[in-house]
Amino acid sequence: MKRIAVLTSGGDAPGMNAAVRAVVRTAIYNNIDVYGVRRGFKGLIEGDLKKMNLSSVGDIIHKGGTILRSARCPEFKENPSCRELAIQLLNVFKIEGLVVIGGDGSFMGMKSLSDFGFPGIGIPGTIDNDLAYTDFTIGFDTAVNTALEAITNLRDTTSSHERVTIVEVMGRNCGDIALDAGLAGGAEAILVPEIGYNLKEISQKLINSNKRGKKQSIIVVAEGVGNLNEIANQIKELTDMDVRTTILGHVQRGGNPSAKDRILASEMGYHAVELLMEGKISRVVGVRENKIIDMNINEALAMQNKFNERRFEISKVLSI
Ligand code: ADP
Ligand code: F6P
C-alpha cells in the first residue's frame, strides 16, 4: 500500500482530530502517502483532497471539531453515480485505501465503496455511542463530561429555587449519554428510548421526596424519548411543582476531548492503518473490554443494542 486517504463524516465528535492525527502519522511512519479529504463524502465527490504531512496534524490532538471538516451528503447515499464518481476520483488520486471516521451512516458510505472492492476501514467517531459492536465511540466520554458539567451547574440554580429541572441531552436514538451523565449527576430520574417510562410514577416519586424534604430534582431526558415540553407540562400538571427545561444541544459536540477519547482515537487510528496495510477491505475498528478490536462491517452493523440495563437499574435505586 503506497497511498491512503482519511475523512471525517456525519456529526463531528471531540477526538476526531486525534484520530486523524493517528492515521496520518502512522501512515507516514510506514512510508505511506496520506491525503485528507475535506467535508466527508461531499468533498470526496468534489475531489477536495489534499496531501498531508507530519505538521498538518501538529497541535490538534487537544482540539474539538475536525480540521478536515465534516458534512452530511445525502446525494452520496441516494445517487449511485456519486459513488461511482468517488471511486473514479480515488483512482485518479491513486488512493488505495480509505479510512472513514464517523457514525453508522458514514460506515454505510464506506461500505458502499467497499462494495466496489475498494479497501475501507471505519473508525467510530460519534458522541452518541450508538454502535453496538464497540463499547465506546470516540467523543462519547467527552460529551458525557460536558453534559455532566451542565447538570452540575443546573443543580445549583435548581436547588436555590426549589425547582424541577428537566434537561435534554443528545444521543439520537441512543440513551447512553443520558444514562451516564444522569447517573454521574445524581439525577432523580433518567428517561431513555430503550426503556419505557411512566410519568405518573416519576411524578409520585418527586412528590414523595418533596414531602421528605428534598426540594429540588433533576430529570435527564435523552433526545430520542420525545418532546421535552410535553414531558415537562405533564410533570408540572401531575406534581404542581415549578418546572424548567434546558436543551443542551450542540454544546455537547464541542470542547477539548477527554484523555480517554484522545487515547481511544490514537489507538484506533493506528489500528486502522495497520488493517489497510494487511490488505483488509471492509472492516470497522472498535474497543471491547479495553482491547482494540476490528470486525467485518456487516457483522458489526447487524449487532443489536447494548444498552446497560443494570446501570439503569442502579441509577433508579440510587435516586430514591
Ligand atoms: P453519522 O455517520 O454520524 O451516522 P449520517 O447518518 O448523517 O451521520 O451519515 C453521514 C453521511 O454518510 C451521509 O450524509 C451520507 O453521505 C453517507 N451515508 C449515510 N448512509 C449511507 C448509505 N446507506 N449509503 C451510502 N452513503 C451513506
Ligand atoms: O449524531 C450526533 C448528533 O449530535 C446527535 O446526537 C444529534 O441527534 C444529531 O447529531 C444532530 O445533528 P445536526 O448536527 O445535523 O443537527
The best mutation among 170, 228, 250 to test binding of ligand 2, ranked by most ligand atoms within 8 Å of the C-beta, falls on 170
Grid cell of 51 as nine digits: 496531501
Question: Which ligand has its closest atom nearest to the C-alpha of 251?
Answer: 2
Phi, psi of 35 (to 5 degrees): -110, 140
Which pLDDT tens digits describe the chain residue by residue (320 residues)?
999 999 999 999 999 999 999 999 999 999 999 999 999 999 999 999 999 999 999 999 999 999 999 999 999 999 999 999 999 999 999 999 999 999 999 999 999 999 999 999 999 999 999 999 999 999 999 999 999 999 999 999 999 999 999 999 999 999 999 999 999 999 999 999 999 999 999 999 999 999 999 989 999 999 999 999 999 999 999 999 999 999 999 999 999 999 999 999 999 999 999 999 999 999 999 999 999 999 999 999 999 988 999 999 999 999 98
* 128, 141, 180, 261: the active-site residue: 128
Indicate the pairing of strand 189-191 with strand 217-222: parallel
Ligand 2 atom 8: the closest Cα is on which residue? 172
With a CB cutoff of 8 Å and minimum separation 6, the contacts of 114 are 120, 281, 282, 297
Grid cell of 237 as nine digits: 400538571
